[in-house]
């Protein structure tokens, strides 16, 4: 009788194990994306280990005030509800394709909207923004991706070009319920698994942006996911937009990286990239903060202050050796603004080290 009882107990344990194997609990992570998986990116995608990478941390020592930076002009952003956006779970984020009638001005070129997507953390640590300010993470981050439609036929052709893309970044933090973001968030239940999609009625996409569009960070960087092409002109708005705690929780818990029939579902969390090395780039700001025309090289500092100059100057530096202080050349140029917002984006480097 004792042997029979042991056999029954063993059978029950085996059955329980089989049930658990058939119905696994959701795992956390984003596969080869996210803060952990990104360490392996450069092996397959060399640009991910290169320069001009994004995101970055904005801190006062790298900020260059530029009074010529203008607020962006948004054309066609108010899309009628009779039109439809396509919202899709692509396995590492939730992405919404935008209308080709949407575009932005007051950049070196005219850029047409392509898509928007989000980055976030997890329910236990809501610090999912990609860009940071003085080391501070925000709860999440929205990206609105545009391509240079003056030079390229579509976003695919533009994405690997140095002047190909312009991305608007909106930092999100906890606050009151946001009815404008809910126009997207309410559809998350319909894109729970990878490759699921749903149609979203058109709305005014401008409502997703902060009220103050005149204050922002501007720099040259890259895509924040593979293949990490250094092709992005970033505009990161200074003032965050607020969403509620419940809305953030929906973002952090609603979706999976895996398909609906996957036996091992994987929660879509922590789909942000860590901040990258700055590599002596310039960050221009449209608000008065930071140090004007201050450049840092290998722990050596060279400061140039321009006062009452009739002719704007083009700054270049030459480093003879790493141990030597940089030599600074001041070369007359017809327009500093045209240099910074024209040739800078074509040549990728304002200050060339030899």
92 is catalytic: yes
Rounded distance between C-alpha atoms, residue 275 and residue 62, angstroms:
15
Residues facing 252 on adjacent strands: none
| Count of other CB atoms within 10 angstroms of residue 31 | 14
Exactly one of 59, 92, 239, 341 is catalytic; name it: 92
- By annotation, the residues acting in catalysis are 92
């Amino acid at each position: 009788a004792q042997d029979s009882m042991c056999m029954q107990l063993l059978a029950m344990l085996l059955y329980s194990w089989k049930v658990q194997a058939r119905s696994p609990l959701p795992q956390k992570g984003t596969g080869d994306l996210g803060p952990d998986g990104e360490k392996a990116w450069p092996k397959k995608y060399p640009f991910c280990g290169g320069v001009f990478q994004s995101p970055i941390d904005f801190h006062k020592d790298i900020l260059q005030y530029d009074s010529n930076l203008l607020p962006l002009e948004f054309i066609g952003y108010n899309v009628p509800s009779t039109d439809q956006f396509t919202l899709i779970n692509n396995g590492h984020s939730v992405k919404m394709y935008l209308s080709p009638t949407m575009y932005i001005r007051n950049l070196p070129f005219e850029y047409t909207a392509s898509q928007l997507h989000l980055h976030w953390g997890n329910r236990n640590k809501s610090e999912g923004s990609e860009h940071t300010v003085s080391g501070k993470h925000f709860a999440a981050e929205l990206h609105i991706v545009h391509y240079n439609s003056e030079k390229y036929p579509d976003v695919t052709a533009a994405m690997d070009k140095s002047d190909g893309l312009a991305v608007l970044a909106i930092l999100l933090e906890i606050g009151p319920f946001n009815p404008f973001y809910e126009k997207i968030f309410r559809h998350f239940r319909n894109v729970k698994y990878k490759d699921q999609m749903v149609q979203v009625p058109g709305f005014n996409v401008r409502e997703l942006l902060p009220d103050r569009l005149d204050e922002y960070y501007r720099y040259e960087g890259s895509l924040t996911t593979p293949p990490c092409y250094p092709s992005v002109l970033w505009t990161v708005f200074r003032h965050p937009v607020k969403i509620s705690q419940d809305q953030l929780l929906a973002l952090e818990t609603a979706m999976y990286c895996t398909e609906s029939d996957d036996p091992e579902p994987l929660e879509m969390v922590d789909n942000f990239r860590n901040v990258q090395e700055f590599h002596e780039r310039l960050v221009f700001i449209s608000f008065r903060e930071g140090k004007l025309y201050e450049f840092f090289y290998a722990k050596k500092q060279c400061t140039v202050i321009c006062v009452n100059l009739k002719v704007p100057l083009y700054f270049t530096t030459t480093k003879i050796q790493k141990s030597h202080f940089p030599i600074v050349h001041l070369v007359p140029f017809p327009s500093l603004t045209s240099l910074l917002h024209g040739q800078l984006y074509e040549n990728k480097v304002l200050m060339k080290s030899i």
